[in-house]
Structure 1
């Protein structure tokens, strides 16, 4: 190994993760000679993780193990231990249940050395397990190579709060005393990355995938980002956002600080709003109170910078009401793309408003926004039947704006959720009703073209002037609409079909092919009922 090339210390942190930690460490060692050392910090595990790491270290001279004698309760303290121990010019972080893909360190190191920057960052993918489906994190930010002379020149950087898809100059972190919050501090990477951007580094962005974030939704111990059922998770998230804002504002980085608030409105607020209907009344009241308190710290410019954004409208409704309300409608507004469901109220001066009893939340922006950017509301129902399956769509008028643009047709795709492929495409014209408030469409669906899987409906609303708008369909839930049915299938004998409503309120579809698939689905349902 050329000692001049061994430039990187990889800090792997773990606690009670004997099942996965070996894969994480080996993925770091497999990066090749660019890795001078792997520093594994065991946070006082009790499940054999420490012994596994010691056994690996006995065989691998590049692996050093640090054993904490007291569990820190979080991810920050062990990472700080790694920063303190790092002997290489560059350092990066890896969690024990994730992996570094081949070539990740070389790609980041080449960018850092070639551009002479303090931070190099690449694409992280969220890999859903066990399906293996991969979803890029902040794909647009890493679409192409870029050199950012100062973080304020690319404010989108604050949306990527991950610390693990980046390579840092070790002396840069130490010179600016950039560390993670110690102890139990959920969302510690929000604070760490804010401290990094506040120090004003030059940043190299690369399109290479440099980190694989494993998402295990059925794990016995959920990760912090997935364990959102307790309101303390939301409290921790708002506090971490506020800390990041204050760090950047205190460093004189007002544009970046405002971008933190914009991210909160567009990402966190919308994500948690979509889940509110799943929570109990006590959670909702506490969430509403915490959200109002956090939003009260925002400047007026945080809401007026882009007043048409769905997250800002959600925030205005929350701020205008002292108690939770309109949760179903807010959930649809928080969807991607947003859906603004009726009723469409007007104030006494005919200004569009959220509702008759909340006239201070105005919607006058819908009168000037281009129609292809409006939060159009589409209702959908899928009726699987032995004699033929029908998809029915209903597009709502929106204060006269859609009528001006002239809805013409709807393109519909049934997209396989895990495999990211389209199983069926269809196009259907939209016909206005006689009252001018709705456009409707009805199309036959060949379910035999789909086979087994979970299918999302992706739709494009096309206007007469050639413009279009991506939309999703609000799932109607009337009697018999979301029932499981078995329908004849020429290829497989039978197809078990289950239309259902997603957490965001959209229509989706589960299918199981053949009698064996049907038996498996019924068996899993019985197992859930028994447990």
Structure 2
């Protein structure tokens, strides 16, 4: 950028995050002269965060430290403080435990200036730690450069609910009072994003990776959005989403179209995510969640439901049809990605596919016309490690669609959980088990050829009519199936194999090769058992 180029302010917010905040600030400073100032807002931390920030300010005059006198309880207030203090013509928001990608500010500013856009947005990646695996956030929006003249022309914009990974014209935010909710308000991004879209900015989209969102699921204290352990988190998410929808509905022009898209996004993302976790919750949480969700869904009309992809739409209709929690395991599988629909497969008196005999009002007639590659096919999987690892797969019929396509082959892939790289691939043929009901395949797996770690099972179903479907397989929890087994491990001598069901019920396998790996598992298991024997230690798991 030339010396006359507009200035960019990066607002970094943090609370008790001394181990990470320096990396965030340095990533902003490393953007070069395009970043005129970094405003670090400390939300009254009680750790060494302020000392870390002042040392950075002493080393670089671009850093300004603002320390709140009291903790706000959320992320909105410190971001507003930073926005109020910003002197740059453009502003970027950055959380203390994340980083800006190299060149992000320059790429975003060039796009904004080129198109005269009040907002420029780029790709955010979720970096799972400690594995380092990057998962792109809403990549469909950022596949190629684009200019959106008005937000309603690209309703999918509502799917990117993050306030980060974007550059904003400071005067535009101030002129239209686009601010964050104050105080302890979780999911403040929802409301900020709705206010932004309702103001009707011109938005430039770029395919560059501009933001790295660090996801530390094993952290001692989870981030506000990742901590979904209590019902208050879901209540806060509903309230933030409700406010966002109302902001869009009240806006002039075509923003009402965005409000409908926002409700469809809630069904496809938030509702599915929390439904996947529901079977693991205690009954009290399940009842409270069910009641809260049903109450919110009554605010949706038929068109809102119809606008959502099928899995979220089906879950919503089951919730609305039943006053009490039911079919949680089955709903969890519908919420999976890709979706699965487990039997039994009921029909009403007219022969229309329905959720169950006692909920015939929840019709599944879309399954009769949906492309086979998108059908929620159910595949059961049993991994038998002893005597040479065998993977047994069973494919279920789905209202006649499977038999009509003709199951032929199944491609099996064990994918390394951390890196996403394929570790083992095999192909097997399907055989008819029960005509018109189930098909089976058996695959031999050389587990000793894999490194010790966790592997997810993916399957690709190939049919005689030329169609295909990629999906996951349900872990069958029969007697002796989901338990640790020590088997001969080739050059390592021994291999400990643990088939298990993931959060959504899919089959995965954990491998511990060699005597040292087996001993490590035994030590961890013993430690858990001893903790469970101590008073107040709870049961061993």
Report matched runs for 1:204-243 at 5 Å. 204-243=204-243
1:2, 1:33 within 8 Å by CA — same for their partners in 2? Answer: no
- In 2, the alpha carbon distance for the partners of 1:198 and 1:294 equals 22
Mark the runs of 5 or more structure 2 residues left unpaired by the alignment.
532-541
Question: TM-score, normalized by length of structure 1?
Answer: 0.97
- In 2, the alpha carbon distance for the partners of 1:367 and 1:51 equals 63
**Shift of residue 6, structure 1, vs aligned partner:** 5.8
Match of 1:454 in 2: 454
SS at match of 2:491: coil
Range with greater deviation from structure 2 (173-182 or 488-497):
488-497
- In 1, the alpha carbon distance for the partners of 2:217 and 2:318 equals 31
Question: TM-score, normalized by length of structure 2?
Answer: 0.96
Match of 2:287 in 1: 285
Match of 1:358 in 2: 359
Match of 2:273 in 1: 271
- In 1, the alpha carbon distance for the partners of 2:530 and 2:24 equals 36
Report matched runs for 1:237-386 at 5 Å. 237-252=237-252, 253-306=255-308, 309-385=310-386
Range with greater deviation from structure 2 (281-290 or 358-367):
358-367
- In 1, the alpha carbon distance for the partners of 2:97 and 2:529 equals 31
**Shift of residue 248, structure 1, vs aligned partner:** 0.8
**Shift of residue 3, structure 1, vs aligned partner:** 4.4
Report matched runs for 1:13-412 at 5 Å. 13-252=13-252, 253-306=255-308, 309-385=310-386, 387-412=387-412
- In 1, the alpha carbon distance for the partners of 2:42 and 2:2 equals 29
**Aligned CA distance change for structure 1 residues 20 and 305 (closer, same or farther; 3 Å):** closer
2:24, 2:100 within 8 Å by CA — same for their partners in 1? Answer: yes
**Aligned CA distance change for structure 1 residues 57 and 305 (closer, same or farther; 3 Å):** closer
**Aligned CA distance change for structure 1 residues 198 and 483 (closer, same or farther; 3 Å):** same
- In 1, the alpha carbon distance for the partners of 2:149 and 2:347 equals 48
Report matched runs for 1:3-18 at 5 Å. 3-5=3-5, 7-18=7-18
- In 1, the alpha carbon distance for the partners of 2:410 and 2:79 equals 51
Runs of 4+ aligned structure 1 residues displaced above 4 Å come to: none
What count of residue pairs does the alignment treat as equivalent?
529
Tell me how large the CA RMSD over aligned residues is.
1.3
- In 1, the alpha carbon distance for the partners of 2:68 and 2:248 equals 32
1:459, 1:471 within 8 Å by CA — same for their partners in 2? Answer: yes
- In 1, the alpha carbon distance for the partners of 2:136 and 2:371 equals 29
- In 2, the alpha carbon distance for the partners of 1:410 and 1:476 equals 18
1:5, 1:33 within 8 Å by CA — same for their partners in 2? Answer: no
- In 2, the alpha carbon distance for the partners of 1:528 and 1:2 equals 60
- In 2, the alpha carbon distance for the partners of 1:411 and 1:149 equals 44
- In 2, the alpha carbon distance for the partners of 1:426 and 1:188 equals 46
